[in-house]
Amino acid sequence: MKRKWWHGKVAYQIYPKSFQDTNGDGIGDLRGVIDHLDYLKSLGIDIIWLSPIYQSPFVDQGYDISDYYKIDEIFGTMEEFDELLAEAKKRDMYIIMDLVINHCSDQHEWFQKALKDPEGKYGDYFYFRKGKDGNPPSNYRSYFGGSAWEKVEGTDYYYLHMFAKEQPDLNWNNPEVLNELYTMINWWLDKGVAGFRIDAIINIKKDLSFPDYEPDGPDGMTGIFHMVEGVDGVGELLEDLKHTFEKYDAFTVAEVFNMKKDELEEFIGDDGHFSTMFDFSAHEMTFGDHGWYDAKKVRFDDLKKEIFHAQKECEDVGFLANIIENHDEPRGASRYLPDYLQNEDGIKLLGTISVMLRGIPFIYQGQELGMENIPFKSIDEVDDISTLDEYKVALDAGLTPEAALKAVARRSRDNARTPMQWTGEENAGFTAGTPWLRVNSNYTAINVEKETIDPNSVLNFYKKLIALRKDPEYKETVVYGALEPFMEDRHNLMAYYRKGDKTLLVVGNYQWDEQEITLPSECKKVLINNYPDMVLDGNSVKLHGYQVLVVELA
């Protein structure tokens, strides 16, 4: 494997709207990001991914962009963005932007012009098609519910939107569109951004015959992902896109679902389309057959299998981007830990398992504090478009309103979008005004200020984990060492080696009860421990309930 500049880095995702408000409007802003660069630096972060900050009507929280060259005024100005770039650079940190190019906003000038003349130049920037016998061109259900085709009033045309109807899909078969997008990408890279997190990118390739598929729900429609899975050739588009990144040696991390099995090398190999892509295998385990309401519970032993499988597949190919949560998922601490492990030690265990994997760790804002899901009391508290849709899906499936709320609350994207918890003061120190989304009431216990001074806090534990990845003595092993499972079949034990010039062993006891294991060789040094002690007798270790260790072996 070729070595890349970003391999040993640790990344952090900021959801700007919920990070830090500095002007009292209840919405996080760029000034708030600038103000906390030192905090992120002290945590050990190198790369910061900003969820979209472009001009947007915020139907899908900025993933609907109406001007790719503007910073939305709720976040601040382009001058402030430039200041952020400069301040990050001073600290040897890198900023990456979210690149949302499968679709734009219906308020984008291109789309507004297209609506006026679907047969004109801008009509061809999108997918306008005539309906079939008074029906949409095909039977696709969009990712956010309802038909993926929206009728243009007063015409026979429909336009395609894989997400919300306010997010029309861009036509990647039109060279003019590609030219516009590549010019824009170059413009940001010239400014000094280090790369991009690339949104929903697998969706750019369409089957232009837009075939119907067998309905998979009572609405008579079929999930549009069937079309994505059914079409070949996304690689050519991605290769072409890659050339815009190459000359800058930019770092790119892709959001890829529904990849075909044999495409891994093409995607993230040495000369892959992207630097890396997120490992969503844990997230995917929870997908329901019909929606969030029938989401599956994750059993720990299965989770372990998935993680090892993903690691194995990539070992000779490239680096995965490892996560336990992001802005589209519930909090990992609430989702991947059984009730009895939902405490600081359990959270440290989960963090260790993720951060010590081979690949590049991405930490989502607040994860380093152990932030948790928010208990929604009513559907009126939900802002997220996708949660509102899934609530409807649950009701249509016959669930009572209470049951539907309960089901979607567990899985809601708003769980991760509640304001960052900075202090124990009002609104967690996030804003002096009214926060745009309710602050989790556990902020008095879980916040940066408190955890900074508590040596045993989740925050200080994350600092240690990240420091270990960067320790000159262990860096080579933690970054490049092979990952090999240890005692793979032992119930409720997560254990793996990292083998490089040193031999490290990560062991986590995923249960309330103690469990005993025998180390394969003598313990030379304990590098990470979420307990004050380690019960060692010869090479045998009696692990406390939910204890996690990283040890160096002789």
Could you list the active site residues? 199, 255
Minimum distance of ligand GLC from residue 152's CB (angstroms): 22
Q: Does 328 bind ligand GLC (CB under 6 A)?
A: yes
Q: Which is nearer to ligand GLC, 95 or 478 (CB)?
A: 95
Report how far residue 522's alpha carbon sits from residue 551's, in angstroms, rounded to the nearest whole number.
Answer: 10
Nearest to 103 by CA among 146, 163, 184: 163
Q: Does 100 bind ligand GLC (CB under 6 A)?
A: yes
Binding mask 354-383 for Ca ion (x = CB under 5 A): ------------------------------
Q: Which is nearer to ligand GLC, 161 or 450 (CB)?
A: 161
DSSP one-letter code for 513: S
Segment near Ca ion (CB under 5 A); pick from 18-26, 39-47, 257-265, 437-445: 18-26
Q: Which is nearer to ligand GLC, 237 or 432 (CB)?
A: 237
Q: Which is nearer to ligand GLC, 103 or 358 (CB)?
A: 103
Paired tokens of 403: 């049951």
Q: Is 343 helix (H, G, I), strand (E, B) or coil?
A: coil
Q: Is residue 487 within 8 Å of residue 277, measured between CB atoms?
A: no
- Interface with ligand GLC (CB under 6 A), residue total 9
Paired tokens of 444: 């008095």
Give Cα 96 to chain centroid, integer Å.
Answer: 14
All residues at 6 or more sequence positions from 315 whose CB lies less than 8 Å from its CB, including other chains: 358, 482, 483
End-to-end Cα, the chain, rounded Å: 27
Q: Is residue 125 within 8 Å of residue 177, measured between CB atoms?
A: yes
Q: Which is nearer to Ca ion, 58 or 122 (CB)?
A: 58
Segment near Ca ion (CB under 5 A); pick from 15-23, 139-147, 164-172, 526-534: 15-23
Q: Is residue 303 within 8 Å of residue 282, measured between CB atoms?
A: yes
Q: Is residue 275 within 8 Å of residue 4, measured between CB atoms?
A: yes
Minimum distance of Ca ion from residue 92's CB (angstroms): 27
Report how far residue 360's alpha carbon sits from residue 278's, in angstroms, rounded to the nearest whole number.
Answer: 9
Minimum distance of ligand GLC from residue 327's CB (angstroms): 6
Contacting ligand GLC (CB under 6 A), which of 29, 46, 60, 390?
A: 60
Q: Is residue 97 within 8 Å of residue 188, measured between CB atoms?
A: yes
Q: Does 177 bind ligand GLC (CB under 6 A)?
A: no
Paired tokens of 411: 């899985």
Which of the listed partners (Ca ion, ligand GLC, none) does 200 bind, with a CB threshold of 5 to 8 Å by partner kind? ligand GLC
β-partners of residue 254 are 198, 277
What is the helix (H) or strand (E) element at residue 278, kind and residue range?
A: strand 276-278
Which of the listed partners (ligand GLC, Ca ion, none) does 63 bind, with a CB threshold of 5 to 8 Å by partner kind? ligand GLC
- Taking the CB of residue 157, how many other CB atoms lie within 10 A of it? 21
Q: Which is nearer to ligand GLC, 17 or 36 (CB)?
A: 17
Phi and psi at residue 363, to the nearest 5°: -105, 130
Which of the listed partners (Ca ion, ligand GLC, none) does 496 bind, with a CB threshold of 5 to 8 Å by partner kind? none
Q: Does 46 bind ligand GLC (CB under 6 A)?
A: no
Q: Does 110 bind ligand GLC (CB under 6 A)?
A: no
Residue with nearest beta carbon to ligand GLC: 63
Torsion over CA: 410, 414, 420, 421 (sign): negative
Report how far residue 39's alpha carbon sits from residue 480's, in angstroms, rounded to the nearest whole number.
Answer: 27
Q: Is residue 257 within 8 Å of residue 201, measured between CB atoms?
A: no
The owner of tokens 């539907």 is 404
Q: Does 279 bind Ca ion (CB under 5 A)?
A: no
Residue with nearest beta carbon to Ca ion: 29
Minimum distance of Ca ion from residue 62's CB (angstroms): 14
Contacting ligand GLC (CB under 6 A), which of 200, 337, 394, 404?
A: 200
Minimum distance of ligand GLC from residue 338's CB (angstroms): 27
Please give the residues from 21 up to 80 whose contact with Ca ion meets the rule CB under 5 A: 21, 23, 25, 27, 29
Minimum distance of Ca ion from residue 335's CB (angstroms): 29
Q: Does 452 bind Ca ion (CB under 5 A)?
A: no
Nearest to 500 by CA among 356, 361, 363, 360: 356
Q: Which is nearer to Ca ion, 27 or 519 (CB)?
A: 27
In the complex, which residues of this chain contact Ca ion (CB under 5 A)? 21, 23, 25, 27, 29
In the complex, which residues of this chain contact ligand GLC (CB under 6 A)? 60, 63, 100, 163, 199-200, 255, 327-328
